[in-house]
Amino acid sequence: MLSIPFYHPVRLVESINLLDHLTKGRVLIGVGSGWQGTEPNGLGIDAGAHASGRLAEETLDIMERLWAFKYGDPELSFSVGNFSGRIKRRVTPAPYSKPYPTLIRVATREAGIVRAAQKGWPVFVGVLGADLGTQMQIYRRALDAAGHPQHVKDNCLRWCSYDWVGVTVAETEEKALEREKLARAETMAIRTSYVKRHGPTDGPAMKSASAQSRPEEYAKGGDMKMTISGTPDMVAAKVRQLEEMGIHHLHLRFMGEIDGETSAICKESAELFAREVMPRFKDTQASPQPELAAAK
C-alpha cells in the first residue's frame, strides 16, 4: 500500500512500471492518502489538503495522465502538493500491463469508493473499523451504474481486499474472548503511554469530515471496534460471509503485541488460523492474472 501524496508522481509511476515488468503484470498496487498523523507535517505537506483526500485524488489524476502520455503529445506540466514537473517524453519504462498496472484504491470516504468503481478499480475497505457492509453496498451499486463489461466487474470483486483487524483464534470461544481482552488492554496501555509522552499526533487542521480524525480514533482504539474472536469454526464462518459480500482477499492482523507480554496470543492465533482455518479454503479457485480495465 502506497501513501501516494508523499511521492513525486513521475518517480512513482516509473517505479510502479518497473515492478510491473519484474512481476510480468502480476503486481497489485494499493494507493491511498496514508496516515494523517505526524507524516504530512514531517514531510512538509499541507495537513488539511492531505486529510481531506484531495492530494491523493490529484496525484492519481496526474499518474493516469503520465501513463496515457505518448511520444508526440504536447508537453505535460503538473503541480501537486510539494511536487511539480514537466515531461516531453513518456515515462520509461512503459508499463508491462495496459493501460497501466492494476490499482487497488484504499477507500474510506464514499467519494473514493465511487471513484474506484467508476474507474474499474478494486477497493481496499474496512480501514479503522469502517462499516464494511455499507462500503461494499456503495461500491457494488456504483460498479453496476458505471456500465463496465461483466469481466471488468468480476475482476474488481475478485481483487477487493479487507483490512481484517483484531483477530483472535483459540480452541474455545471463551478462551478467545479472554485472550482478546488481555491483548487489547496491553495495546491500549502502549498507545495511552505514547500520547502522554508525546501529546496528540494531530491538530485542528487534520480534522476530517468525521467527528474525530484518524489519529485520534486510532489512539482510542478505533481500529479494534470490530474484532473477531472465536474458534476456528467461528472464524471460518466469518471468512465465508466476507466472500459472499465480494471480499476475496484479507489483510489479517492478529491481536497481541509482538514485542510485549501478549506476543504468545498473536503467535498462537496466527498458527491456529493457518492450521485450522486456511485449509478449508484450499479448493477456492485461485485468482488468475488480473484482467486490466481501461480507465474511464
Q: What pLDDT, on a 0 to 100 scale, did the predictor assign at position 201? A: 56
**Do β-strands 161-169 and 228-230 pair in parallel, antiparallel, or remain unpaired?**
parallel
Q: Provide mean pLDDT across the span 247-259.
A: 89
Q: What pLDDT, on a 0 to 100 scale, did the predictor assign at position 294? A: 39
Residue 192 pLDDT > 80: yes
Distance, in Å, from the CA atom of 181 to the CA atom of 255, rounded to the nearest integer, reads 9
Cβ–Cβ < 8 Å for 17, 90: no
Q: Which residues pair with 246 in a beta bridge?
A: none
More confident residue, 202 or 122: 122
Which cell goes with 88?
516531453
Give all domains of the chain, ordered by start, each with its CATH number: 2-162 (3.20.20.30), 165-232+253-281 (no CATH)
**Residue 102 one-letter amino acid:** T
**Residue 124 one-letter amino acid:** F
What Rg do the C-alpha atoms of the chain give, in angstroms? 21
Q: What pLDDT, on a 0 to 100 scale, did the predictor assign at position 205? A: 39
DSSP state letters, 216-278? HHHHTTGGGTT-EEE-HHHHHHHHHHHHHHT--EEEEEESS-TTSTTHHHHHHHHHHIIIIIG
Q: At what angle do helices 263-272 and 173-198 cross, to 10 degrees?
A: 140
Least confident range of 2-16, 29-43, 185-199, 210-224: 210-224
Q: What pLDDT, on a 0 to 100 scale, did the predictor assign at position 48? A: 76
Residue 204 pLDDT > 50: no
Please, where are the H alpha helices in the chain?
Answer: 9-22, 39-42, 47-51, 54-68, 110-119, 132-145, 150-159, 173-198, 214-219, 232-245, 263-272
Q: How confident is the model at residue 227 (pLDDT cuts 50, 70, 90)?
A: confident
Average pLDDT, the chain: 85
Residue 283 pLDDT > 50: yes
pLDDT tens for residues 5-30?
A: 999 999 999 999 999 999 999 998 99
Q: How confident is the model at residue 295 (pLDDT cuts 50, 70, 90)?
A: very low
